[in-house]
Structure 1
Amino acid sequence: MLILGIDPGTHTGIASYINGKLMNLATVAPIDIAECIEATRPARVVFEDSRLESYTWTSIKSRPAALKMARNVGEVDAWCKLIVAICAKLDIPAHGISPKGKGAKVDAARFAEITGWSGASNEHTRDAAMVAWPYRGASNV
């Protein structure tokens, strides 16, 4: 059983769990999200869903920087909608997890301890893996 974890963003992280074991990490462009889902036809997709946060925490002081952040969050929100639509079209169960619900970011060493992954990773692939971690072996989540 394949569970796909996705961290949507400019550099979208993809994590593949097969029968509960982390098997692959990849970083793709947002335009490739649909292709990844269609090609793998996972049993479930779990993604980090920025729409589930009512407030974006930032310490940005300048208005231009705050507006840029708002635009970036809006882009991620749109990619989340895309993931839901693709999964609905393919009849694949999918659900989002809030960034807060996913938990804090983990560095490569801690990620290896948690998952047993010994290959390369980056913050996007680690986020994708961690968002799906609690669901990696679930068949009826």
Structure 2
Amino acid sequence: MITIGIDPDMIASGLAVVEAKGILKLQSVKLPDLISTIQAVGKPGEVVIKLENPEANKGLFASRANKNKGVSIAIAMSVGKCQATAHHVQELLIAAGYTVKMVTPLKGPLKRQAKDDAAYFNKVTGWTGRSNQDQRDAALIALWG
């Protein structure tokens, strides 16, 4: 079975195609191209889609908030954009006939290091190509979400 992991983003979502724990493809996909990109991988029922659910993250609490109010507001706005994008991606995929598993964002040192460090990501996943943070996050969702 092929698994598609998606890390939703307002500009271009990270997308990973995984089969048998091996990454076949990593790419960034704009919202208008998302459905056709997924349809090229497989029809509904042929693929498992795991979509990161940013709404599962806890809020930005005052005790953990950045001391700079402007930075805190920017972070909150960015999170809100990702939440809205995830909602739209889920709606589009369901309308196209796909079943979508909403996945709680991964946590812990593996996630942080693999998302931020391409060499480490390649080491733990076996991927040898280029990647960005959103693509790496999508792969982590597909593999372990």
Normalising by structure 1, we get a TM-score of: 0.79
Matched, 1:72 2:78: yes
Partner of 1:60: 66
1:19-59 CA-to-partner distances (Å, cap 9, x unmatched) read 44211111223443333234333611112211111224764
Instruction: Identify which of 90, 97, 118 aligns with 1:108.
Output: 118
Which amino acid is the alignment partner of residue 54 of structure 2? Answer: S
Instruction: Identify which of 54, 75, 84 aligns with 1:50.
Output: 54
Which consecutive unaligned segments of at least 5 residues does structure 1 have? Answer: 136-141
Q: 1:98 to 1:37 in 2, by over 3 A?
A: same
Identity %: 25
How many pairs does the alignment contain? Answer: 135
CA distance in 2, matches of 1:97, 1:130: 11
SS of alignment partner, residue 120 of structure 1: coil
Partner of 2:2: 2
SS of alignment partner, residue 129 of structure 2: coil
Q: 1:46 to 1:81 in 2, by over 3 A?
A: same
> Do the aligned partners of 2:27 and 2:135 also contact (CA within 8 Å) in 1?
yes
Which amino acid is the alignment partner of residue 7 of structure 1? Answer: D
Which consecutive unaligned segments of at least 5 residues does structure 2 have? Answer: none
> Do the aligned partners of 1:17 and 1:23 also contact (CA within 8 Å) in 2?
yes
Structure 1 segments, 4+ long, off by >3 Å, are 56-59, 100-103
1:91-121 CA-to-partner distances (Å, cap 9, x unmatched) read 2221222224584341222212221111111
Partner of 2:130: 120
